[in-house]
Amino acid sequence: MESQAIQLDLFLDSRSVMLANEALDALVKRDGPRAVRTVVELRAEAPDYPSLRALEVLAHALTEWRQPTGDVAKICSAVTWLEQVVGPAARHAAGSQAELVLDAFFRDLADSARGLAYDPAQPKTHRAWLSLRCGDWAEAEAAALGIAGGTDIGDVLHWLCIARYRQRGLAAARPAIFRLAWHEPQRLASVVEELGDQLLDRAFQSFQHACDWESVEAPELPAWFPAWYVIEHPAVSNDFDYVDPPSSPARAAQLLTSIIELERQADWKRLIALREQLRALNSDLFSVYMTRRAVRYSR
């Protein structure tokens, strides 16, 4: 009798899992009626199933979903609902497949946002952000580039960093990363973390610990990352897209590209003059530069 009871439990458990998986499949395929039927059957079969409530929330969300018209307020409300209600349910019920459930909703919103202007007060309602959220990298890049003056706006530079990296890798993203460092340095650390690139992460950590950086206020320190980067990787000098007029951190990066070229030419007179300009801009960066030169030429 005990063996039969165990077998019955296994059968019921496996059927519950099967029903939950079928519900998830219906959700991913956006088949609302099938999702609802399957969840109802799951509740009758296993009312204490761990993810039952989350699956009910998702099935209800899918059947009730109506793509909003191109209105900022409606899109904003939908984003909040997806982030606060649907998203947690999807992560609880679907785990690693949660984004498959959510992407279609955000793709609908991205389509609704087509043609809407960028609103700095509501950046999540712009097509670029919504396209990033559902993994449409090319659409996100195109939408970001369509924003007038966008390469001076932190949100837009952030979106370009992510979209370009996901499509073409770090080399493609570096110009936007550097420009973001100059325009919104406080945002750089979170973007580096979001990209998840090991080489970039290692470089950013090395930069932060290169010296004490006593001459720079902590919130502004990331703005000097591009200049430090060119010391370590001179070949990236073509990645710099300078502001006009340049900030001190951007000017330092520009100076370093010229300094490295003068080193190759052995033009010592001009080199000394530019080094003095670099020292005047940032004494800590100058010390890092000179230390690297001493190590390099002592080998």
User: Of 220, 249, 254, 223, nearest to 236 (Cα)?
Assistant: 254
d(CA 256, CA 245): 17
Question: Is 79 domain-assigned?
Answer: yes
Q: Which of 124, 148, 172 is the last residue of a domain?
A: 148
The structural domain count of the chain equals 2
d(CA 234, CA 196): 23
Query: What does the block give as tokens for 176?
Result: 């936007």
Question: Is 223 domain-assigned?
Answer: no
User: Of 203, 153, 145, nearest to 179 (Cα)?
Assistant: 153
Q: Which of 36, 64, 92 is the last residue of a domain?
A: 64
Question: Is 282 domain-assigned?
Answer: no
Residues 60 and 85 in one domain: no
Q: What does 200-239 look like in DSSP terms, one character per residue?
A: HHHHHHHHHTSS--TTS-GGGGGGGHHHHHHHH-GGGGGG
List per-residue pLDDT tens for the chain, 299 residues long: 444 433 334 344 688 999 999 999 999 999 999 999 999 999 999 999 999 999 999 999 999 999 998 899 999 999 999 999 999 999 999 998 899 999 999 999 999 999 999 999 999 999 999 999 999 999 999 999 999 999 899 999 999 999 999 999 999 999 999 999 999 999 999 999 999 999 999 999 999 999 999 999 999 999 999 999 999 999 887 777 665 657 999 999 999 999 999 998 888 889 999 999 999 999 999 999 999 876 554 44
Residues 40 and 73 in one domain: no
Q: What does 69-80 look like in DSSP terms, one character per residue?
A: PS-HHHHHHHHH
Entry pTM: 0.90
**pLDDT computed for residue 240 by the predictor:** 74
Residues 38 and 89 in one domain: no
Residues 43 and 95 in one domain: no
- N-terminal to C-terminal alpha carbon distance within the chain: 80
Q: Which of 148, 178, 204 is the last residue of a domain?
A: 148
How long, in residues, is the chain?
299
Residues 73 and 143 in one domain: yes
**Domain enclosing residue 136, as ranges:** 67-148
Specify whether the CB–CB gap between 24 and 93 falls below 8 A: yes
